Structure 1
């Protein structure tokens, strides 16, 4: 299991034990983390699972691929560490990952 911490704009923290091979989005949905809607179900066809990866974890989480970058154009308040959580695959190297949910999604 890999631990992921989701932080809401109001500072509420949600600590989740995630299965490797799943996505950050799937674990948010399974654990009712507010602000992660995932309207497309993880198909990288919307931006309702937008998160900010904590800067300390940006390198480990990796850069968005071209399709994800295109979808981020539809997200609000994109920042340098913005990612779609449906595109971040949980793996051992991400144990302790911290992501923040954008204010506009809360």
Structure 2
């Protein structure tokens, strides 16, 4: 079992240092929800199926992430506030390689 450290900047600009397990098959959206870093009902509305973009985040660190799936790419193409470093948090699985990942939650729309 290995836990990793993640820095999450919430939608109010507050940065939180959180610990995420890598042995529970969690994705980043589930970690954000478990720490209640976004109001209930404002993140992960589709349940992590890459169908709503409510969990869009900006990756601030230089971590190499898994390649974006077609469904994630298509969802981001329709989302608001998309930047070059935008990803859907529900599509980022927690692995040891993501230790010290830094993200910022995109604005709610």
**TM-score of the pair, normalised by structure 1:** 0.86
CA RMSD of aligned residues (A): 1.8
Q: Which has the larger radius of gyration?
A: 2
The offset of 1:22, in angstroms, is: 1.1
Number of the residue aligned with 1:71: 75
Unaligned runs of 5+ in 2: none
**TM-score of the pair, normalised by structure 2:** 0.84
The offset of 1:55, in angstroms, is: 4.5
**Structure 1, residues 16-74: CA drift from partner, whole Å, max 9, x if none?**
111113100000001101266110111111100000011422xx223311110001123
Higher-helix-fraction structure:
1
Number of the residue aligned with 2:17: 15
Pick one of 86, 91, 94 that aligns with 1:87: 91
Query: What CA distance in whole angstroms lies between the structure 2 residues aligned with 1:28 and 1:62?
Result: 19
Query: Which runs of 4 or more aligned residues in structure 1 lie more than 4 Å from their structure 2 counterparts after TM superposition?
Result: none
* Contact 1:55–1:81 (Cα < 8 Å) also in 2: no
* Contact 1:50–1:82 (Cα < 8 Å) also in 2: yes
